[in-house]
Amino acid sequence: MNTDNKPAIAVSNVLKTFAGKHEVKALESVDLAIAPHEFVSILGPSGCGKSTLLRIVAGLTPYEGGEVLVNQKRVTGPSPEIGVVFQSSNMLPWLTVGQNLALGAKLRKIPEAQAAPKIAQLTEMLGLKGFENNHPHQLSGGMRQRAAIGQILALDPQILLMDEPFGALDALTRDKLNVELLRIWQEQRQTVLLVTHSIAEAVFLSDRVLVMSGRPGRVVREVAIDLPRPRMPETIKQDPRYGEYISELSKLMGVY
Ligand SMILES: Nc1ncnc2c1ncn2[C@@H]1O[C@H](COP(=O)(O)OP(=O)(O)OP(=O)(O)O)[C@@H](O)[C@H]1O
Ligand SMILES: [Mg+2]
């Protein structure tokens, strides 16, 4: 458990090159530090290494040079304190929603009776009640994504890594899920590192937004988002600072 103010995630001088016929230098000297309970988003051009960075922090991809610490321990492989929501759903298609949500507890040999209340609460909270017996392909895109997030939250991760979790959704569903995600985070205060292509989403959700350069990716800028919490779209979107942060980040991203 992280009880002091040392970073929950600390990445220093990390390099990553994918070897092969077409060698790709994906990351170069990446530095970042995320405080416990902080909500941080990463923006950057496509192919700059955002997913690679997330996978490195999750212990799923080896790295060269530098160091990655999670709760002050060097990352050497996946760990139960970290939950990852990938760019595409990680649910098993042959299991029902209920079985997918219960999968983590099953793999950890947590008795069903002990895991059930938490799973029921998540099902309710994510608006999936009544769909427990459906398979992932029988859900809408938004529901599938909510279920995928639920599957990870069911594991009670202290650290939540999310790779464009809402990328494939329409704007309205995305806004709704953003609000749900903030509500969950407000309650459970995981440390969150979220990759997104949406500047507005990054501003709405985050305490801090990191901007990466083109490949090889590095963190080149950071913007602290000083907007009050709890955040609701109708109030935040009227706050003049919201628009200012979006313009500032759009300029940094070279949008205009
Ligand atoms: N397993 C791999 N083997 C070889 N090259 C890889 C591998 N994974 C990623 N790459 C390369 O590393 C670079 C960074 O990829 P990555 O997926 O991290 O980018 P990204 O910033 O997440 O992009 P996007 O925004 O499009 O999702 C790309 O050039 C990609 O081709
Ligand atoms: Mg990616």
Q: Is the CB of 18 under 6 A from ligand 1?
A: yes
Query: Across residues 137-149, what is the average pLDDT?
Result: 89
Please tell me the distance between residue 76's alpha carbon and the centre of ligand 2 in angstroms. 22
Residue 2 has pLDDT above 70, yes or no: no
What is the pLDDT at residue 45?
95
Q: Note the pLDDT tens digit of each residue in 53-67.
A: 999 999 999 999 899
pTM of the predicted protein model: 0.92
| End-to-end CA gap in the chain | 43
Looking at residue 176, what is its pLDDT? 86
Whole-angstrom Cα distance, residue 198 to residue 23?
A: 29
Distance 47 CA to ligand 2 centre (A): 7
pLDDT tens for 75-116 read 999 998 999 998 777 789 999 999 999 998 888 888 989 989
For the cut 80, the answer to whether the pLDDT of residue 255 exceeds it is no
- 57 Cα: distance to centroid of ligand 1 (angstroms): 15
Look at residue 256 in the predicted model and tell me its pLDDT: 66
What confidence tens digit (pLDDT) does each residue in 206-240 have?
Answer: 999 999 999 999 999 999 999 999 999 999 999 99
Looking at the CA of residue 49, tell me the nearest atom of ligand 1. 18
DSSP alpha helices (H): ranges in 58-96? none
Record the tokens describing residue 82, joined without a space: 């970290």
Q: Name the residue type at position 75.
A: V
Name which residue sits closest to atom 4 of ligand 1, judged by CA.
18
Question: What residue segments make up the domains of the chain, in order of their start?
Answer: 1-81+158-256, 87-156
pLDDT, mean over the chain = 92
30 lines ligand 1 (CB under 6 A): no
> For residue 196, how far is its CA from the centre of ligand 2 (angstroms)?
9
Is the per-residue pLDDT at 1 higher than 80?
no
What's the pLDDT at 3? 53
The answer to whether residue 153 scores a pLDDT higher than 90 is no
Between residues 1 and 208, which one has the greater pLDDT? 208
Residues written for the chain:
256
- Confidence (pLDDT) at 79: 92
Give the DSSP H or E segment for 32.
strand 24-34
Residue 202 DSSP SS3: helix
Pocket test for ligand 1, best of 18, 46, 88, 215 (most atoms within 8 A of CB): 18
In CATH terms, the fold of domain 1-81+158-256 is Rossmann fold (3.40.50)
* Residue whose CA is at the smallest distance from ligand 1 atom 24: 46
Extract the tokens encoding 57: 């922090």
Phi first, then psi: give them for residue 208, nearest 5 degrees. Answer: -150, 145
For the ranges 38-52, 74-88, 163-177, the maximum mean pLDDT occurs at 38-52
Q: What is the pLDDT of residue 105?
A: 87
Say how many Å lie between the CA of residue 188 and the centre of ligand 1: 31
Count of helices and strands (H, E) across the chain: 8, 10
Query: If you take atom 28 of ligand 1, which residue's CA is the nearest one?
Result: 47
Average pLDDT over residues 22-28: 94
